[in-house]
Amino acid sequence: MTASTWTLKGTLMIACNCDYGCPCNVNGRPTTGKCEGGWTWHIESGSYGTTVLDELNFSIFADWPGAIHEGGGQAISFFDERADDSQRRALTELAQGRAGGPWGLFANTYQLEGPDPVPYQVDVANGHSYYRVGDVAELRVEPIRNPVTGSASSLCATTLPTRRSTCASGGAGCRNCSNIPEKSVR
């Protein structure tokens, strides 16, 4: 597929194993010393060249041995099984970083497997969004509560299911673990 211009409008749902205020976003060290993160894009409207991508989804889940910018990560990606062949090619170009954008930057920090087609369930709701990516991952988002007043902030807390090998540790982000297949990030 030849590089094309693209545009996406929608919702990006992100979760990682760092504490609130992820230091990786400012080139800091991950809270736990390594980074495990997931990004799911729900495309409300968009295109890659002449290929319409409206209402499709794609995800990347990655595991780095240290900070993201240090590289050496392993990642796996998925796209919406409802995509036709042209849409699958477009979503693959995006996820693999060949179209630039944020994926082009991240592609230099990990070895990527996929993307593979899976069913998605996505509910984008103000402060209470949810997704399920096949049998691979599930995420629920809720507002972060002020520890003093209990009132909800405009920021959201997320829950990222971690790999089976680390799930039992109960580390940050391991509140609603799902059964992630062996093909997931190792």
**What pLDDT was estimated at residue 26?**
80
Give domain status of residue 184, yes or no.
no
pLDDT, average across residues 84-111: 94
Question: What range does the domain containing 22 cover?
Answer: 9-167
Give domain status of residue 172, yes or no.
no
Give domain status of residue 140, yes or no.
yes
Give domain status of residue 173, yes or no.
no
**What pLDDT was estimated at residue 19?**
81
Give domain status of residue 186, yes or no.
no
Domain count for the chain, please give it. Answer: 1
Sheet holding 130-133, edge to edge: 120-123, 130-133, 137-145, 152-158
Give domain status of residue 177, yes or no.
no
**What pLDDT was estimated at residue 23?**
82
> Is 163 a residue whose pLDDT tops 80?
no
